[in-house]
Amino acid sequence: MNSFHYIDNILHCEETPVQEIVEEFGSPLYLYSKNQLLDNYRSIDGAFEGTDHTTCYALKANSNLELLKILQKEGAGADAVSAGEINFALRAGFHPSKITFAGVGKQDAEIAFALKHDIFSFNIESIEELAVINDIAGKMNTKARIALRINPDIDAATHPYISTGLKTNKFGIDINVAVETFKYAASLPNLQVDGIHTHIGSQIMKLDPFVQTAQRVVDMVKELRTLGINIQHIDFGGGYGVTYKNAIKHPFLPLEDATSADETPGNNAFITSVLPILKQVDCKIVIEPGRSIVANTGMLITKVLYRKDNGVKKFVIVDAGMNDLIRPSLYHAYHQIVPLTVKEGEREHVDVVGPVCESGDFFARERAMPFVQRGDYLAILTAGAYGFSVSSHYNARPSVAEVLVNGDKVRVIREREKIEELK
Ligand SMILES: Cc1ncc(COP(=O)(O)O)c(C=O)c1O
C-alpha cells in the first residue's frame, strides 16, 4: 500500500489532493495518512498470529496524541522513554499493563511515576539502575516488574548515531556480565525479574543482525532458566528499516540512485525471520517498532520561498527548516523530495535548504529535481518518524501544524503554534 501517489500528475494523500490541503492549512505542514498508519501496524502485528505478544509502539518516533489513539484502539501497547511519554500513552488510553519504560537515564521521579501507574515493565539499562529502582519500589511499598536490556554486541550495520547494540554504545548491559546481573537482580527484594530486553539500533535493513540477536537472547533465556530465573517475556525492541529512496515513482520524476540495501525487506519479514527462534522458549513476545509504523505515513509539505544561483550552486530555499525535520542535518538522512504537481521537462541539480541560520540546514544536496520556483510546494517524503517529535524552536520558529487524512477527510491533529505562544 502507498497512500501517497499521483493521480493525473497531482500528488494525493489517499483520495485528497495535497495542494488543496496545504492551501487550506498553510505551510510548512506535517500531513499523515490514517490508512497507511493502520496498514503498517497491521502488517507488523498480524505477523504474530497465534503468538502471545504485544506490539508496543515506540512513542519517540512520533507522539502525536491522535496518532497514538488510533494505534491504541488497534490493540497496540506503548514503549516510552520518559515520564512525559508514559503520560502521553496514558492520555491516549493505553492500559498501563501494555506500557514499557526504557532509557539509560531514568530519573527518580520518573521511576516513581511509572511505579505509581504499575506499568508492564522497566527495561533496565545498568546495574546501578537496578539498585535505584529496588530502593524506590521499597519506599513505595511495591514491586517493580523488570526486564534487563542486554547489549548483544551485534553490528546492526546502520548509521553510528542510531546503532545501539555494540559494546561501544551506551545502551544495555554487556552480554558477558548479563547472567551475573540477572542473578543480582533476582536477589533484590523489590524487583520481579520478568523479562529480557534488547534493541540493537534503528533503520536496520538486513534480517541477519536480528536473527543473530534472537539466537543470543534465546540461549540466554535457556541458561537463566537452569539457574531458576524464569523469564516470562522477551522484549525484542524495534529498529525495522523503511525505504526512503524512490518512495514514489513517476515517469516525470528522476529515479533515485538506490541499491537493494535501500529497500526494506518488509515489515512482515522482520517478524517472520525471528519468530521461529523466539518461540523456542515459550515466552510472551514484546516488540517496540517506531519508524516502521509511522515513517511512510507522513510527509512534510514546504513552500519554495526563493531561488538563488551563486554560480557554483543552485539553491532552492524553502519555508521548512532543520528545526522542523532534523534528520538530513543530523544523520545526512535521505528523504525523497517531490513537487505536488509533476510535469514533463527540465531537471536541475539543486540544494534544497531551509531558512535557519546554519549551513547544516538542508534537506537535500546536489539533488536532481524537477524545476521549481517561488510559490511552488514540495513534499518531503517518509517524514512521519523522528520528524515532528525531534523538532525544536531553534531560531524562535513556531511548531508547524499537523493534519490527518482519512480518504477524502482532513482534520487538524495539532494546531500551528503562533509566535505569541513561543516561550
Ligand atoms: C529502546 C528502543 N526501542 C524502540 C525504538 C524504536 O526504534 P525504531 O523506530 O527504529 O523502530 C528505539 C529507537 O531507537 C529504542 O531506543
Residue whose Cα lies nearest atom 12 of ligand 1: it is 238
Question: Is-contact 107 84, C-beta < 8 A?
Answer: no
- With H, G, I as helix, E, B as strand and everything else as coil, classify residue 67: helix
How far apart are alpha carbons 416 and 399 in whole angstroms?
Answer: 6
Q: CA distances (Å), 309 to each of 139, 140, 350, 366, in order?
A: 65, 64, 9, 13
Name the residue among 241, 162, 239 with its Cα closest to residue 198. 239
Q: How far apart are CA 158 and CA 264, in angstroms?
A: 13
The DSSP bridge partners found for residue 124 are: 148
Is the shortest distance between the CB of 339 and ligand 1 below 6 Å? no
What stretch(es) of the chain map to CATH 3.20.20.10?
34-290
Q: Where is 402: in which H helix or E strand?
A: strand 401-406
Question: Does domain 296-421 bear CATH number 2.40.37.10?
Answer: yes
Return the CATH fold of 34-290. TIM Barrel (3.20.20)
Alpha helices in 17-142 (DSSP H): 18-25, 34-45, 65-73, 83-91, 108-116, 127-139
For residue 238 and ligand 1, the question of a CB distance below 6 A is answered with yes
Task: Check residue 157 and give its pLDDT.
Answer: 66
What is the CA 196 to chain-centroid distance, rounded?
21
**Residues whose CB is less than 8 angstroms from the CB of residue 194 and which lie 6 or more positions away in sequence, other chains included:** 121, 145, 146, 147, 231, 232, 233
Q: Is residue 41 within 8 Å of residue 55, measured between CB atoms?
A: yes
List, for the chain, all residue ranges whose pLDDT scores fall below the cut of 50.
none
Please write the tens of the pLDDT for every residue from 30-67: 999 999 999 999 999 999 999 999 999 999 999 999 99
> What is the chain's Cα-based Rg?
22
State whether residue 151 is helix, strand or coil: strand
Q: What is the DSSP letter of 343?
A: -
Could you identify the atom of ligand 1 that is nearest to the CA of residue 204? 10
Please report, as a single letter, which amino acid is at residue 275: L
Q: How many Å lie between the centroid of ligand 1 and the Cα of residue 99?
A: 14
Return the residue whose CA atom lies nearest to atom 5 of ligand 1.
Answer: 238
What element of type H or E holds 125? none
Please identify, by atom number, the ligand 1 atom nearest to the C-alpha of residue 197.
1
As beta bridge partners, residue 32 has 298, 404
Residue 37 confidence (pLDDT): 98
| Helix, strand, coil percent content, the chain, rounded in steps of 5 | 35, 25, 40
Crossing angle for the helix pair 65-73 and 34-45, nearest 10 degrees?
A: 40
Which residue ranges does the chain devote to CATH 2.40.37.10? 296-421
Which of 55, 56, 60 maximizes ligand 1 atoms within 8 Å of its Cβ, making it the mutation to test the pocket?
A: 60
| This prediction's pTM | 0.96
C-beta of 370 in contact with ligand 1 (< 6 A): no
Going by C-alpha positions, the residue among 215, 384, 275 that lies closest to residue 46 is: 275
Active-site pick, 13, 56, 283, 357 = 357
Cβ(12) to ligand 1 under 6 A?
A: no
Q: Give residue 140's Cα distance to chain centre.
A: 33
Contact 317, 357 (CB under 8 A): no
- CA distances from residue 219 to 150, 213, 281 in whole angstroms, order as listed: 12, 10, 9
Kindly state if the Cβ of 199 falls inside 6 Å of ligand 1.
Answer: yes
Instruction: Of 293, 289, 265, 383, give the one whose Cα is nearest residue 36.
Output: 293
The one-letter amino acid at 127: I
Mutate to test the pocket of ligand 1, among 197, 200, 202, 204 (most ligand atoms within 8 A of CB): 202
Contact between residue 397 and residue 358 where contact means Cβ atoms under 8 Å apart: no
Interval between CA 159 and ligand 1 midpoint (Å): 14
- pLDDT given at position 320: 98
Between the CA atoms of 73, 299, 382 and 377, what dihedral angle is there, to the nearest 10 degrees? 170
Among left, alpha and beta (phi > 0; psi -120 to 50; other), residue 361 is: beta
Confirm whether 283 is a catalytic residue.
Answer: no
Cα(238) to ligand 1 centroid in Å equals 5
Separation CA 354–CA 305 (nearest Å): 9
Question: What is the per-residue pLDDT across 60-69, written as a single tens digit (0 to 9) for each?
Answer: 999 999 999 9
